[in-house]
Amino acid sequence: MKIAVINFSGNVGKSTVARHLLLPRVEGADLISVESLNATEGQTQTIRGTQFADLQEYLQTVASAVVDIGASNVEQLLELMRQYRGSHEDFDVFVVPTVPALKQQQDTIATLVELSRIGVPSSRVRLLFNMVDDRDELERSFHPLLRFVSDHPIAKADPACWLGENEIYGRLKTTGMDIGELVRDTTDYKALIAKAGDSAEKLALAHKLATRRLAHGVQPELDACFAALALESALA
């Protein structure tokens, strides 16, 4: 399965969705980051928006991939996709994360419209509601976007496909670890803390323990969100 994570807007959690939701659950997938020239180099495979020819050729050689498209590259990449007619069919699914902020919802609508214009059918476009506040109703927070999709059904919008805000994603940015690794970690941090010689070492171990607890807390949410995406139905 080949998935593009895309939105004209920044700050909607595309990299979080690509790395922590999709990559661990799409068997054998490579993570490819489409970034601008001044982006931070942190991915194993990074290409620029102008290298779309390289990207589409690479996609022919792999069975699965998750492609994280940086906001500054989306417009350029979609234009190239129009030039390479039919290249959008290299992706089985386009996942479009969005957040409650009105500007990001407007940008999300623009993204859906552009995907529709280049010929991506609604069955291959999935909205993902990110940074949801569990104290608020999702339907109310995303009313403008949900109303648009209701009037113009060019994407699949399942309110069960959501992720809340969680500090674990910020903690993991600099570690290179994923949530699955943390969940599988069986280290007895309390025992190590008790044996630690100074407060700095104790605090470092306590930080690891807290991060693992966050991972255990967020894992079921990620699993439920992935199930709600119903990616296999796009292949059908």
Residue-wise pLDDT for 141-188, tens only, equals 999 999 999 999 999 999 999 999 999 999 998 777 889 999 999 999
Asked whether residue 141 is domain-assigned, the answer is yes
> Can you point out the beta strands (E) in 9-116?
30-35, 45-48, 65-69, 93-98
Burial level of 93, CB count in 10 A (0-12/13-18/19+)? buried
Asked whether residue 189 is domain-assigned, the answer is no
Looking at the chain, how many residues does it have?
236
Phi first, then psi, for residue 39 (nearest 5°) are -75, 155
- Contacts for 186-192 with beta carbons within 8 Å, 24 or more apart? 187/212
Range of the domain at 24: 2-169+225-235
Asked whether residue 185 is domain-assigned, the answer is no
Chain center to CA of 100: 16
Q: How many CB atoms lie within 10 A of CB 60?
A: 8
Structure tokens at 22: 């999709």
Asked whether residue 146 is domain-assigned, the answer is yes
Using CA atoms, how far apart are residues 121 and 105, in angstroms rounded to an integer?
Answer: 20
* Contact residues for 79 (Cβ-Cβ < 8 A; gap 6+): none
73, 50 in Cβ contact below 8 A? no
Asked whether residue 75 is domain-assigned, the answer is yes
- CATH number, domain of 68, equals 3.40.50.300
Asked whether residue 117 is domain-assigned, the answer is yes
Residue 39: predicted pLDDT: 39
Which pTM value belongs to this model?
Answer: 0.91
Report the number of distinct structural domains present in the chain.
1
pLDDT in tens, the chain (236 residues): 999 999 999 999 999 999 999 999 999 999 999 875 333 434 456 666 567 888 888 899 999 999 999 888 898 889 989 999 999 999 999 999 999 999 999 999 999 999 999 999 999 999 999 999 877 789 999 999 999 999 999 999 999 999 999 999 999 987 778 899 999 999 999 999 999 989 999 999 999 999 999 999 999 999 999 999 999 887 76
DSSP-assigned letter for residue 29 = P
Asked whether residue 194 is domain-assigned, the answer is no
Q: How many CB atoms lie within 10 A of CB 57?
A: 11
Structure tokens at 181: 């690794």
Using CA atoms, how far apart are residues 111 and 120, in angstroms rounded to an integer?
Answer: 11
Asked whether residue 184 is domain-assigned, the answer is no
